[in-house]
Amino acid sequence: MSLLETSFPEPLTTVRVLEYRDHSLFTKMDYVATEEPLEIRVIHGSYDAPVTSKVALSMRTPGNDFELALGFLYSEGVIRSRDDVERVSYCTDPNEPQRFNIVNVRLKVGVKFDPSNLSRNVFTSSACGVCGKATLENLKTVCPTKPLGEITLNPSFIASLSEKLKLSQRFFLRTGGVHASALFEQDGSLLLIREDVGRHNAMDKLIGSLLLEKKLPASNKLVMVSGRASFELVQKAILAGIPVLVAVGAPSSLAVELAQEYNLTLIGFLRDDKFNVYSGFERIAQ
C-alpha cells in the first residue's frame, strides 16, 4: 500500500491571550489545539472508471490523518485489513483550497464498497463523533467474535494508568484541550498513544496505526481514554479486538450493555486511585 503523507496544518496554533494572575493582567502568547475539518473520501471500482464517494467530514486536530481515515473506515466495516487498501493520499488538486484537509483512500480493485451501508450522518463534530448507525445488530454483522483477553489485572495496576496517561499526553500538556487514547500492555508498558480534539478521532488514529502495522486484533491489550466511555468507543475497542477499555469519565448505559454483550472489561471513573468496573469482572484480580 502506498502512503503519501506530505505536509499538513500544525497540530498547535499560537494565540495572543490576556492572562489574569496574582491580581494583575499580563499579555502573553499561548498554544491552543488546532481544529480543522478533515473530509474522508473513498475511491473504489475499476481503474478505468473509478468512483469517488465522500464518506465523512470530521473536525480534528491535524496529524496522523491517514491513521484517522483508515481507523474510521475500519470501525465502519468498510475495510477489514490493510490489504484492502491500495493507496492513501491527500487531495492534490491545486484548485482545491482545502486539499490538505482531504484524504483519499483508494481501495484495491475487487474490494466491495456500498456507500448506502454508511447509514450514519456523514458529518461528525470533534465532540461526539458520528452518530446514528451503531446498534448491537449491526456490530454483530461486522464483528461476530469477542475480543481475546485471557489476562488478570491487579487493581493497583489499573489505578496507576491515570498518571501514565497524563505524562504521555504531549499535546494536552501544552494546550489542555485534547483527548487521548493510549494502548498498554498488560505489564503497564505504553505501546501507542494518539491525541485529538475529538475523543473518537483519537481512538480512530490509534486503531488506524495498528491496522497499518498489521497488529489487529490487539488481543490481551488494554486501551485507556481520557474522556467518558461512549457506546462508539466501546464499539471501536471491540472491533479492534481490545478486551479492556479504561476511561477517566463515566460510561453510558448502552456502552455498558455492549461491553457485557462482548465480554469486554469496561472500567470508568478512574481518578485518584478509584475506579468502577462495569463488566468483565473476571479479569480483575480479587
The arithmetic mean of pLDDT across residues 21-34, rounded, is 92
- Domain extents for the chain? 155-283
Query: Does the annotation place 22 within a ligand binding site?
Result: no
Does 209 have pLDDT greater than 50?
yes
Query: Does the annotation place 269 within a ligand binding site?
Result: yes
Catalogue the active-site residues: 128
The model's pTM: 0.89
Digit-coded pLDDT (tens) for 76-119: 889 999 999 999 999 877 777 677 899 999 999 999 998 877 64
Q: Is 154 helix (H, G, I), strand (E, B) or coil?
A: coil
Indicate the burial class of 49 (C-beta count within 10 angstroms; 0-12, 13-18, 19 or more). Answer: exposed
pLDDT at 135: 52
The arithmetic mean of pLDDT across residues 265-282, rounded, is 94
Query: Does the annotation place 274 within a ligand binding site?
Result: yes
C-beta neighbour count of 165 within 10 angstroms: 22
Query: Does the annotation place 272 within a ligand binding site?
Result: yes
The CATH superfamily holding the domain 155-283 is: Cytidine Deaminase, domain 2 (3.40.140.10)
For the chain, give the percent of residues with pLDDT over 70.
87
**Residue 239: φ, ψ to 5°:** -60, -30
